[in-house]
Structures are given as structure tokens and as C-alpha cells.
Structure 1
Amino acid sequence: MTEHPAHPALDAAHLHCRSLEEALDRFRRQGLDRVADWGGRLADVLTGGGRLLAAGNGGSAAQAQHLTAELVGRYRQERRAYSAISLHAETSSVTAIGNDYGFDHVYARQVAAHGRPGDVLVLLSTSGRSANLIAAAVTARRSGLRVWALTGRGPNPLAEAAHESLCVDADSTATVQETHLVAVHLLCECFDAAVSTPVARRTVTTHGRVS
């Protein structure tokens, strides 16, 4: 039998895919109900005139902006636009606040400015330890917003600061981010399904609770 030479890059790719498959399997078993629940409740907030605020750092910032873009634009089906703002994309505000108050306050101050009671704040962090996101969660709760966190493995400070969290059980930052992207897409899918469903039929969530 001919032995194939070792191929480190290919081996690494296989390991990456295996890690993602395992994380998605755990997410499928533990996180789908929560995402479906969030989608229905977000539909109630946004169709009622509320707003979604979202934030993250680095790759998580890009994913937060992906989420808001799908809501202001559309995910799959044609529908009206909904109010959703990515706080990190407000570059002048971010740099001014960072310069005047420090980087830990770049999101909290925007939450204080834009958030209203009943709005939703979604925070994404692979570590769950970003000080600026934790500060935003604290400010949001004081202001009457609902705080949802997408993080890496729990427990972590951001998950504890949020009202509800979805913690991805994975060792690799890349795997956590990739699973977060799936969660973002599923949140949009569940949101679209909810807004196309009569209100009377979506008052009961997947957990059997009134939303």
C-alpha cells in the first residue's frame, strides 16, 4: 500500500471542520430553542416600533453589523424595513467617545443615547470578557432594554451581565465566530417566520411562555 505524504495544511483543515461540526451539533441540541424564542420576541419588539441595537469587537463587530443589515434590508423574503443599528459602525461616535471617555464606554454611551425601554441589545463576543460590551449590558439593563448575548464557552462575565445568553462550547475562536454566524442567520430566519405569522399565533414561544 502506498502511503500518502503528510499534509499539515490539509490536516489542519480537517481538524477545523471537525471542530465546527461538533460545535454545531451541540448548538443544534442546546441553542435552537433559544434562537427561535429570540426570533419571535424580536418580531414583537420591532413590529411594535421598537429597535434592535447590536455591538461587538473585531470579527464579532462584523457579525453584529451582518445582523442589523439583514433586518434593515432583508434576509430572504421581501418585507418592510425594521430599525436596527450596529453601534460600532457609528465611527465618529466611537472615536469621539473613545477619545473623551475611554474605549470601555464606546457602546454604553450609545446605548444610553439610542436605547429605549423595551428595545433589544444583542452583544457578540467570543471571549465574553470584553469590558466595553459588559458596560453596554449594564447600561442597557438600567435603561430598560432587554440584553441578549452570543458568547464563547460559559460561564463568562458578559453572559452573566445579559438577561439571556447563548454560549458556544468550542475551544477555537474561529469556531465560535462561525457558530455565531449560523445563530445570526437562524435568528433572522426565525424573525422572518414570526413577522409573517399572525400575532395571535406567535404569543406562545417554543418554551411555552408568553413572549
Structure 2
Amino acid sequence: MSAPNTAATVGTSIAQEHLDVLSEALRDFGPAAETAARWGVALATALTSGARLLAVGNGGSAAQAQHLTAEIVGRYQRDRQAFSAVALHTEPSALTAIVNDFGIEEMFARQVEAHGRPGDVCVLMSTSGRSPNMVAAARRARTRGLRTWALTGPGPNPLADAADEAVTVRCPVSASVQELHLAALHIMCEAMDDELTRVPPQPRWSGSGL
């Protein structure tokens, strides 16, 4: 009869430990949240001017990159016009060709070179901030004139250094870093939505419409 109680005790202990780590990281998260909100305001201006968002990540961060682009192309909370946003890991044929022909460090950098235009925004997510393919993508984005924002774990790290600006999460546990990255993305989307209610839509193309 003791086994269920033991399992419950272990489960409670694990849950509390996870929450304690997350709570500790949240204590230092205020400045990062403010940066994310400022990014959201800047993103609203960029997107309404015809820019696009490129999102980059490996593994769980790739899933978050795709989550971000879904919020931009679809919506976060409020109905509004659709905007262009692409998660660069979602093109498997291009991705495998690039890795095969140019090496893994180029897997995102070459796509940034292909799709990015001056004035676009590139958001890069990495819990370590040390993945060579992410650092290469950030450097390529900056040389192409993209506004480059990184979300990483503890700084300083190479990705944060390579970006124009970075949100760094002071936490040694990757899972908690990712959880706060998601919070930052949601804050950014909420600030973008709020700013879009103040900024009138801009014409994105000209012509007869025929």
C-alpha cells in the first residue's frame, strides 16, 4: 500500500522543484518582459510597412518559432490583417539540400540570405545561445539588413552577441528557459496587437487590383 503514496510524494517533489526553478527565473524576468513588449511595438510598425518576420530555432525552440509565426499569420487574440511570417525549419527539402551541400551551419543562414530583405525582422531562439547554425543565421541576418532579435538562456553567449538585441533568461534549466521564451513571445504578440489598434493600416502594394 506504500507504493502509491511514494509515487505521489515523488511527483509532488518533482513538481515543486520545477516550480521553484521557474519562480526563481521569473524574479529576474522583468527587464526581459519589457524588451519583449518593446519588440512587439516595433514589430507592428515593421509588419504594417510590408516587412516580414523570419523565425529560427532548433528542437523545442523550432516549435516555438512555428508557434510565433502562426500567431503572426493568423492572430494572437484580436482580429486584424494577416502578416507575412515564416519559420525557417518548415522547408524540409530546402533544409536537407542546404545541409547536404553547404553544411549544418548554413541550414538557416542560407535561407535568411534567400528570404530576408532589409527592414525585415529575424527572431532567433536558443536555450544555450551557442548553436553554430543559429549564430551563423544571426550574423547573416545583420549583414542583409534585417533587424535581429535573439531569445537565449544565460548571457553572455555567442547568439546574444551576434544579434542586434537579446532577451537572456538567467536560468540553468533549459525547460524553464523555454517556458519564459514562450512568455516573452506572448508579451511581444500582445504588445503588437495593442500597437496595431493605434497604427492605421498602411498600403502594402499599388496597382489596379486586377
Fold-level similarity (TM above 0.5): yes
SS in 2 for 1:165: strand
**CA shift digits 1:112-145 (9 cap, x unpaired):** 0000001110000000001001000111111101
Q: 2:179: which partner in 1?
A: 178
1:20 CA drift (Å): 1.0
When normalised by structure 1's length, the TM-score is 0.89
Question: Which of these residues, 15, 18, 28, is aligned with residue 16 of structure 1?
Answer: 18
* Letter paired with 1:145: L
1:189 CA drift (Å): 0.5
Q: 2:84: which partner in 1?
A: 83
- Give the percent of matched residue pairs that are identical in Structure 1 and Structure 2: 55
CA distance in 2, matches of 1:8, 1:113: 50
CA distance in 2, matches of 1:50, 1:198: 15
Q: 1:116: which partner in 2?
A: 117
Matches within 5 A, 1:1-211: 7-27=9-29, 29-198=30-199
CA distance in 1, matches of 2:168, 2:32: 8
Q: Which runs of 5+ in 1 are unaligned?
A: 200-211
CA distance in 2, matches of 1:197, 1:91: 38
* Letter paired with 1:115: G
Q: 1:209: which partner in 2?
A: none
CA distance in 2, matches of 1:183, 1:32: 6
**CA shift digits 1:3-34 (9 cap, x unpaired):** x868223211101011112212321x221221
**CA shift digits 1:96-121 (9 cap, x unpaired):** 10111111101000000000001110
* Letter paired with 1:72: V
SS in 2 for 1:88: helix
Q: 1:205: which partner in 2?
A: none
SS in 2 for 1:124: strand
CA distance in 2, matches of 1:178, 1:32: 13
CA distance in 2, matches of 1:74, 1:56: 21
**CA shift digits 1:153-193 (9 cap, x unpaired):** 00000000000000001111100001111111111111111
When normalised by structure 2's length, the TM-score is 0.90
SS in 2 for 1:116: coil
Q: Which runs of 5+ in 2 are unaligned?
A: 201-210
CA distance in 2, matches of 1:198, 1:61: 30
SS in 2 for 1:121: strand
CA distance in 1, matches of 2:170, 2:25: 6
SS in 1 for 2:28: helix
SS in 2 for 1:123: strand
Give the root-mean-square deviation of aligned CA atoms.
1.3
* Letter paired with 1:84: A
1:90 CA drift (Å): 1.2
